[in-house]
Amino acid sequence: MGRPNVDETLQAATKDQATVTAAGEPLAAVIDGVVTTAQPVHADHRGRLFEIFTGESDFWRSPVVYCYCCTIRPLQVKAWGLHLFKADRYVVISGEMTVVLYDARTDSPTYRMTQQLTMSPEAVQQLLIPVGVWHADVNVSGEEVRFLNLPTARYNHDDPDRYMLPWDTDLIPFDLRSVYPIQAQT
């Protein structure tokens, strides 16, 4: 079967780019120090189970010292945040969110690189965000996202290790509006 003749719409089109290899391995570049895991999901007629803490791995290199649960309402964003002394470890429990990362570490081999990944109980469930990496969390689903954060240090109420920029800052070369699902016009 030969290539069909197609009208001028083809000239305006963008050709798809592969995001994984034939074996299913991601092709996207990863910011230095970022660790993700996709734990096996065990499902039966009663529900689903995936493990959170499985022992020694790069994700759990630092001990668990603190844990809290976050939520993000549908189509809302929590951005931008950065820590200088602690790493964040996310474990998504329900919903789907896109996390956008920006490497601000001037001595990093991936300095000024952005990375985008989608988290859900059926895909990447765990994400380690290194110190010095800005992160934005976007709920891209119609339900509230729930996730645990198990940072590598406790929250210091006297001197919080938390720096923030507005979601639409020009200092980070990423437009968060690009990750929102298309909304129907009424």
pLDDT tens digits along 78-131: 999 999 999 999 999 999 999 999 999 999 999 999 999 999 988 888 999 999
Q: Find the radius of gyration of the CA atoms of the chain.
A: 19
* Residue 46 one-letter amino acid: R
- Alpha carbon 128 to chain centroid, angstroms: 9
- The answer to whether 127 and 89 are in contact (CB under 8 A) is yes
- The pLDDT assigned to 18 comes to 83
pLDDT above 60 (res 184) = no
- The pLDDT assigned to 160 comes to 94
pTM confidence score: 0.84
- The pLDDT assigned to 7 comes to 81
pLDDT above 60 (res 185) = no
Positive or negative, the CA dihedral 137, 141, 144, 147 is: negative
pLDDT above 80 (res 133) = yes
Between CA 121 and CA 19 the distance in angstroms is 20
- The pLDDT assigned to 128 comes to 95
Between CA 83 and CA 148 the distance in angstroms is 17
pLDDT average, residue stretch 161-171: 95
Those residues with Cβ within 8 angstroms of residue 169's Cβ, 6 or more apart along the chain or in another chain: 80
Instruction: Return the bridge partners of 94, or none.
Output: 146
* Range with lowest mean pLDDT among 3-7, 32-36, 73-77, 159-163: 3-7
Per-residue pLDDT tens digits for 25-67: 777 888 898 988 888 788 888 888 888 887 778 888 888 899 9
pLDDT above 60 (res 183) = no
